[in-house]
Every structure is written in structure tokens, then in C-alpha cells.
Structure 1
């Protein structure tokens, strides 16, 4: 009997050590280059990473890119060069809790704070008084909706928005279907910290692959880059806090959907129709009904939740067609 307990102890102790602390993976050369080309600014004592590229000399237009959950500004890497050929300036932050930005624990993450961080970044860069184009995806769609609300209501610090392009985000809570693990984490209570700790590359890669199309699956290197961005600063430990945005979308639906229905600025959506999170035709039928003034680009049938990564050429062409139309 004693030998049995010794054997259990010999197995349990190292497993507990792994549970308590698993070192984050090293940055790949591509991800290291992305980090090295960006920089940081301080927002209320918090370090926020961002990219800021000078682009086309003949343009005076600025585009700000707002990424999705659970990834980072690196989501835009495949269309970055194309955007710099069209815009004078291309700016993309990592939201608080994401990518290379700070990831404080026991923090009440909110869409409102993320919108204020975008305002703070644009003030830091000296462009807050300039008109900008917003290009958003997923979580970033909701941040863009809050920025649009502030612009509409002349709130202090507002961003002057020339156009808004959304893509595959939970604009309508009633047509959004979070993944099973997301539901567990956002409502897990005492279970959430355990789930955060148990999350690993295998579970992450299985989950994220489900929201890519069958012919547009990310490579293993791309999956590792996504996971490395999450694991930076132990970001896996704040997933449950970040996921409160799902509840915030429901709580503030009227505010954020109302911002879209009442806007007069050019509005567009680029949509991957195989998206299981915002499925077709349920999502798009409601979108067209509620926002008839918006123009729409629906990509090929096999494109899913990450259209800018799955079909960067189609995504970029759709976006530039929208911008050039006005």
C-alpha cells in the first residue's frame, strides 16, 4: 500500500509543478520581427503594444485596425503591406490582455476600456483630431461599435471616423454562438482558473482550427504564433476575464447596435460565410434587415471566421473596393 502512494506522489508532484507554471514558448522569427517593428505606449500605467507604419506618400488617409479574440494585431500581417500601399498610415494595437500588451490579472476587462485605449493611442500618436478609417474583426467589431457610439454622441476623446468596415464579429448577440470552451470560461466561476491553467497548445489548436475553413486551415507554425501571442505574459490566465465581453455585448446591445443603425458614415462588412460563430444565413439575414444602408462583401463559401488570414487577397480587395467607392 505504501509503495502505491509513493508512486502516486511521484507522478502527482511533477504534474502539479507543470500545472502551476509552464514557460511560454519562444517567439518564432516572424513573430519576433513583428514585435521588433512595433513599439509600446503607456495607458494609465499599463503597457500597450502597437504597430504604426508609414505608407503611401500620395495619401493622407489613416486606417486603424482592431483585432479579434483571442489573438492580436498579428492577425493583420497578411494584408499589412497591401494596406500601406493605399493608406498614408496604418495603425494596429494589441488590446489590453492580448498579444504583447500587458495582461494584468484580477482586472475587470471591458470593451469600454479597450475603446478608451484606442483613443489614448491615437492621442499619443498625435492623430486623434484626424479623421480615420476603422477596420475591425470579431472582438474588434464591438470596440469599433463603442467608438462609433462616442463619435455619434460627441463624447470627449472621441475618434473622428470616416468609415467603418466590420468582419465576422458578434454584432448581434442573438445570432452569435460562442465555442463551448468560451462558454465554460466566461461562466465557469471557480472552475475558470483551473481551465485557464489546463489550456495548452493542443487544446487551443483544436479549438481555433474549428473556426477556420476546411481548405484554409492555419499551418502548425501559424498556430504556434497565435498560441505564443496568447501565452506571452501568461495571457492564458486572463482568458476568463477577457471573455466577459460576451456578456457585455448582451448587456449593451441597444447601445452598440444602435450606434450602427443611426450612423451616417459609410459602413461595410466583409464576411466569411462558413463561420460557425456567426453562421450564415442566420447572421447575414439579420444584418441586412437591421443595417440596410451597409454594403456587403461575402467571400467564397469555404471562408470562415478569420477571413483576413484565410483569404487575404479576397479580403484586401473587398476592403479597398469599399474604400475606393467613396
Structure 2
């Protein structure tokens, strides 16, 4: 395993979630900050901004079931609701009763579910106060989300089940590399080492066998769209969207929809060449805009 990934793994912790082993990292002091990663990777997505965040916050970052260094059961109903349950259970396990949230990709959907529960008072584990939410690129509004063809085929058709046993092949790796290349900006493409790290994360615990099943969370975006959006429109929780505009899935067009739907929308657009992974492609800019958001919340 890559040395940096190994250090990330060995400095993490584990907790039991309904009989499954969930990996998480917690570090720092101060107010709690929950980081909710995207699909199909892990808490490692936050590694470039982690050292700065832990100087101000107690940063909590789990790997969701089916991803990263957590268990990856083949017989499991992966859903946004279950991912939200796990995050609530972890906060309860750590004794956290309030937190800020920074979410990306699938993490946006999990954050939307947590916000809807917070507004309705129907949490599964405890009732943590959400101090603020910062969204990064993700499918906040399914009507504006434009996934790649491979994502559609793997998550919405039987192709994922049919090809899961072959996902470790050289051809499959090249397909993943090409998809990742499309998701990064023109000037921020992942290095060969980053690509290898991504593959090692996917391969851990034979994760490629379940990646397509985890990806079926997209159906939840349709099922819960109105409930999630209603919570976003009615909440008093301060929210900010930091968006990489050249993301083909959820870039400028998603930010435009956010401004149309959310009252008094707080939207920050990054440089034109930043795409789907702002925390990897433009970590300093993400930190600057995130801190400006939480500083304003703290001042109020």
C-alpha cells in the first residue's frame, strides 16, 4: 500500500456499526467538524486540507460502508439513509452533540438527509445540532445532475452486477482512469500516484465487487428530492455552496440551479478550471471560502 495511505489508515480508528467495522479519523481540538466524503472513494479525499482543518476544529471523517477502509459487504442495501444513520451513530459514539458539516458528492446527499432529519426532529441516533453546512460539488438537485455514461450503466442497469467480478482487470482500471480524468479540471488532472492511490482505496477489502451497488444511492436522490430540498429551503442553518464550475456532473449548471431554488443562496464559484474535486484541485481556495463561511457563522 502507498506509504501515505498506510499512515492515514494506521492513524485511524474503528467503531462497530450494527456489526460492521467502520473506519474513521478524528483529530484536532475545538468545535466539531464532520467531513462527509463522496463516491466511490473515502476520507482520504480530505487529506490535503486535513492539516489546516485540525488546527481549528475537532475533525471527524469516517469512511462510509462499502468504501475506503470500512467493511464492504456484498449482501447489503446501500442507501443514503443508512449512510446518514452511520454518521449519526458515530457522532453519538464520540459524544458529539453539535457540529459543522463539510460535504462532497455522495456526502451532499447524506448531508441533505441529515439536514432533513434535523429539521423534522427524527434522527436515528441522538439529535446533533448542525451549526453550518458547506456543500462542495455534488448532485444536490437531481434535475440538474448529469452523470457520466459509465456511472449510469453501472448504477442503474444490471451491468454492474454482471461485471463486478472483473472490476480489478486492467481494462476496468483504464475505464476508471478515463472517467476520473473527465471529472478533473483541464489543469488539475490527477498524477499517476494519485490514480494509484485511488485504485488502492477501491481495491481494499475487494471493494470493486460492491462499488456498483454503493453507486445505486443515486435512486435516493429522486426518492427524497422534495423532502431534502424543502429542508434546504426552510432551514435556518447557514449554508454555502463552493463549486468547481467545470465539473461535467455538478459544476456551473448545478450552482445555477442552487441559486434558483435556495432563498438567499450563498454560492462561491471557484476558478473556471476547477472541476469535481475542489478539495483536491484547489485546496487552499476551498479552505479560504470555508473559513469565511464558518467565521461569519461564529460572529453571528
TM beyond 0.5: yes
Aligned counterpart, 1:21: none
In the other structure, the counterpart of 2:110 is 143
Structure-2-length-normalised TM-score: 0.94
Q: CA deviation at 1:247?
A: 1.0
1:279 Cα deviation after fit: 3.6
TM-fit CA distance, 1:132: 0.5
Q: Is the contact made by 1:175 and 1:279 (CA closer than 8 Å) also made in structure 2?
A: no
**Residue equivalent to 1:196:** 164
Question: In the alignment, is residue 260 of structure 1 matched against residue 232 of structure 2?
Answer: yes
Contact 2:251 2:275 in 1 (8 A): no
Instruction: Show the counterpart of 1:19.
Output: none
Q: 1: CA distance between counterparts of 2:152 and 2:34?
A: 30
Matched, 1:69 2:69: no
- Cα distance in 2 for partners of 1:276, 1:308 equals 17
Alignment-derived partner of residue 152 in structure 2: 183
Q: Given the alignment of the two structures, is residue 291 of structure 1 paired with residue 259 of structure 2, yes or no?
A: no
Q: Is structure 2 residue 240 aligned with structure 1 residue 273? A: no
Aligned to 1:164: 133
2:3 is the counterpart of 1:35: no
Instruction: Map 1:10-49 onto structure 2 (within 5 A).
Output: 27-49=1-23
Counterpart for residue 24 of structure 2: 50
Give 3-state SS (helix, strand or coil) of 2:65's partner: coil
Out of 209, 218, 239, which is 2:211 matched to? 239
Identify the match of residue 133 of structure 1 among 91, 100, 108: 100
**Structure-2 separation of matches of 1:123 and 1:213:** 38
Q: CA–CA distance in 1 between the matches of 2:35 and 2:128?
A: 13
Match in the other structure for 1:99: 68
Q: Counterparts of 1:135 and 1:217 in 2: how far apart (Å)?
A: 23
Q: CA deviation at 1:294?
A: 3.0
Paired residues, number: 291
**Offset from partner CA, 1:197-228 (integer Å, 9 cap, x none):** 33332221111111000110111111111111
Give the Cα–Cα distance (whole angstroms) in 2 for the partners of residues 243 and 33 of structure 1: 27
User: Residues of 2 paired with 1:209 and 1:316: CA distance?
Assistant: 24
Give CA deviations for 1:98-150 in whole Å, capped at 9, x if unaligned. Answer: 100001002110000000000110111111x2x20000000000000111111
What is residue 251 of structure 1 aligned with on the other side? 223
- Is 1:153 the counterpart of 2:120 in the alignment? yes
The CA RMSD measured in Å over matched residues stands at 1.1
- 1:296 and 1:150 mapped to 2: Cα distance? 24
Greater Rg, structure 1 or structure 2?
1
Question: After the TM superposition, which parts of structure 1 deviate over 3 Å for at least 4 consecutive aligned residues?
Answer: none
- The normalised TM-score by structure 1 is 0.87
Structure 1 unmatched ranges of 5 or more = 1-26
Give 5+ residue unaligned stretches, structure 2.
none
CA distance in 2, matches of 1:286, 1:28: 39
Q: Tell me whether 132-141 or 176-185 shows the greater mean CA deviation.
A: 176-185
Separation in structure 1 between the aligned mates of residue 187 and residue 134 of structure 2, nearest angstrom? 25
CA distance in 2, matches of 1:34, 1:218: 19
Q: Corresponding residue for 1:321?
A: 292
- The equivalent position to 1:116 in structure 2, one of 76, 85, 91, is 85
Q: Secondary structure at the match of 2:47?
A: helix
